[in-house]
Amino acid sequence: MDLLDFTGEDMYFDQPLPAEVETLIADAAEHYGEERAEHALMRAYFLAPEHLTVLVALYRFFYYRQRYDEALTVADRALAEAGRALGLDGDWRTLGEDDLGRAAAQSMALTRFVLLALKGAGFLLMRMGRADEALERFEKAAAFDSSNRLGLTELLEWARTAVSKSGAEAAGENVHYFRR
C-alpha cells in the first residue's frame, strides 16, 4: 500500500467547518500565547467534537504548550474519530492488513491520518518517558509502512533503545536489591 497515493482526495482540513468553529480556531491562532486561545479551542471542540480539524488544532495547542497528557488524549480521540469514519474497530491494536486495505479503498488520506495519529501518539509517549507504549504504536504503524513513507525507522530505533535501556536499568536495580 502506497501511503502517499491520495491524489484527488479531500483531506481532513478540506471538510467544511461551521462558521463559528472556524472563527474560534482563527481566534485561537491569533491569540496563541494567551488563555483566550485555549478557551476558543475548547469552545470549538464542544461545537464540533468529531471534526478532525478541531482535534488537530487542539492537539497542536497542547503539544506546543508541552501538555503532553492532554495532547495524548486528543491524539487518541482523533485516532478514534478517523477510525470510526473508516469503519475500523475502535482499538488500534487490532488493526490488520485487511482492515487497512478496506480503509484505504475508502480513503487513503484518512487511512494515512490514522497511521500518522499512531505515530504522533507514540512520539508523545516517548516525550513522556513511556517508551514501551510508544514502541507498540510505532510498530503497529510501521507494519503497514514497508517503504518508511511515514518516517518511522528512526522513531522505532529510538523507542527500542529506550525500552532496552529501561529493561537493563531495571535488571541492574534488581541485582542491587538482591545484593543487600
pLDDT digits (tens, 9 = 90+) for 70-115: 999 999 999 999 999 999 987 899 999 999 999 989 899 899 999 9
CB neighbour list of residue 88: distance below 8 Å, 6 or more residues apart? 95, 99, 103, 114
Q: What domains can be seen in the chain, in order of their start residue?
A: 12-179 (1.25.40.10)
Distance in angstroms (rounded) separating the CA atoms of residues 2 and 179: 54
- For 26-42, letters b (16+ CB in 10 Å) and e give ebbeeeeeeeebbebbe
Q: Please list the helix, strand and coil fractions of the chain in percent, rounded to the nearest 5, in that order.
A: 75, 0, 25
The model's confidence at residue 167, banded by pLDDT at 50, 70 and 90, is confident
Q: What is the pLDDT of residue 113?
A: 92
pLDDT at 9 over 70: no
Q: What pTM did the predictor assign?
A: 0.83
C-alpha distances out from residue 163 to 21, 141, 157, Å:
41, 18, 10
Q: Which long-range contacts (CB under 8 A, 24 or more apart) does 160-165 make?
A: 160/135, 162/126, 162/131, 162/134, 162/135, 163/131, 163/132, 163/135
pLDDT of residue 171: 55
DSSP state of 145: -
pLDDT value at residue 5: 52
Angle subtended at Cα 27 by Cα 19 and Cα 37, rounded to the nearest 5 degrees: 125
Q: Is the pLDDT assigned to residue 14 strictly greater than 70?
A: no
